[in-house]
Amino acid sequence: MGEDGRLTAVVALAQGMAAAHTPRESWRAAALGACRALGGSFAALSVWERELGRLRVLVNVGNRAQGEEEFPGDETYPVHQFPEITEFLHERWVAGGEPNAWVETAEGPAAGQPGYCHQRVAALRRRGRGCCVVAPIVLNGRAWGELYVARSAGVPVFDRGDADFATVLASVVAAGLAQSERLEEARRLAFTDALTGLANRRAVDVRLEEAIERHRDQGVVVSLVVCDLNGLKHVNDTRGHAVGDRLLERFGSVLSLCGAMLPGALAARLGGDEFCLLVVGSPADDVVKAADELCRRAAELELGEGVACGVASTEDPIGPVRSARRLFRLADAAQYQAKAVRADRPVVAGREGEDDPVVRLADAEPSGEDAVERRRFRGRLP
């Protein structure tokens, strides 16, 4: 490949990673771009997990051998099997050397080798590959992992020029990974409550819309638990907001713990003293059981005065739920009912017969901006 071709390949790799919307898409774009740029038949991207002393494969692309998954669940290799990971990526680089790529062949080391690596050679032979080029990836000043590209047996092996080009590609991949990590962190912060670490209202809105769509299309059960933490204002007024924040954090931990009883539940802080659990797929009775446990644990907190908890589930007799707003209104009405009667257990929409007061209250409210309608329930309960 000439200089123009290599430049085009670099641009294509960078553009592919930039267009990725998830880390997985970014990893796949990196491996595919490098594989094409180097004329390989297979490529993999792996991360060095220092704390576990292992190299973990993130993605495999191209002609995968038996047992090689595109996104492996747990394909890992102990670092001691690949001494160049610590010796070449760390010792040589720290000593002033550059983290350049090297080539291994099915017959042994080749251009730019850091030393004979029996495991890599054995793997090449076992999988019918003739050679590979290994390029260290350095991210934020630290060895992050490696880019691995292989060619099938019987075709020309990689040479020194290929190894040098792989070093360039690894730098482009590192830049793409850094951008991907920044975007992922921005997304995480956008959907996370800063104080408790739970999901925030935006995350609930997105997930609830998706869940209701699944309910409409597939009949999947969707349940919502809405809670109001009692006594927060008193704690703030008498002991200060720092103590109030500790109460919010502590209750957030309790909510997360109870949410763990329900597979895939999303625990969130809606704002102020209001929290919720969004549950998709679990039976309504299991959700009520978890909400009951939440009430019990909240009552045992050293601070605060327990929690008012309301539950609404599409599995209960609450009428058709065609929108996220209606389920939210039902759970909200149940929560305010619990608060009005000072219930120490959750109030569940639809479980008091045909003339259920919670359903009647929720459906009587006019439509409007959600943030406004949630407040309209205050003072309206008997």
Report the distance separating Cα 350 and Cα 318, nearest Å. 5
Residue 371: what pLDDT?
40
Query: Mean of the per-residue pLDDT values for the chain?
Result: 85
Pairing mode, strands 307-313 and 347-348:
parallel
Task: Over range 147-172, report the average pLDDT.
Answer: 94
Residue reference for tokens 């990196």: 30
Strand order in the sheet with 76-78: 76-78, 54-62, 42-49, 142-152, 129-139, 102-105, 108-109
Q: Is the predicted pLDDT of residue 302 greater than 90, yes or no? A: no
Range 152-181 average pLDDT: 92
Could you list the beta-strand ranges (E) of the chain. 42-49, 54-62, 76-78, 102-105, 108-109, 129-139, 142-152, 222-229, 266-271, 274-280, 307-313, 347-348
pLDDT at 196 over 80: yes
The pLDDT of residue 100: 81
Rounded Cα gap, residues 105 and 150, in angstroms: 9
Q: 380 pLDDT exceeds 60?
A: no
Sole residue written with tokens 């309504």: 284
Q: Is the pLDDT of residue 333 over 60?
A: yes
Q: Is the pLDDT of residue 67 over 90?
A: no
State the pLDDT confidence band at 363, using cuts at 50, 70 and 90. Answer: confident
Cα R_g (the chain), whole angstroms: 28
Of 58-67, 113-122, 235-244, minimum mean pLDDT range = 113-122
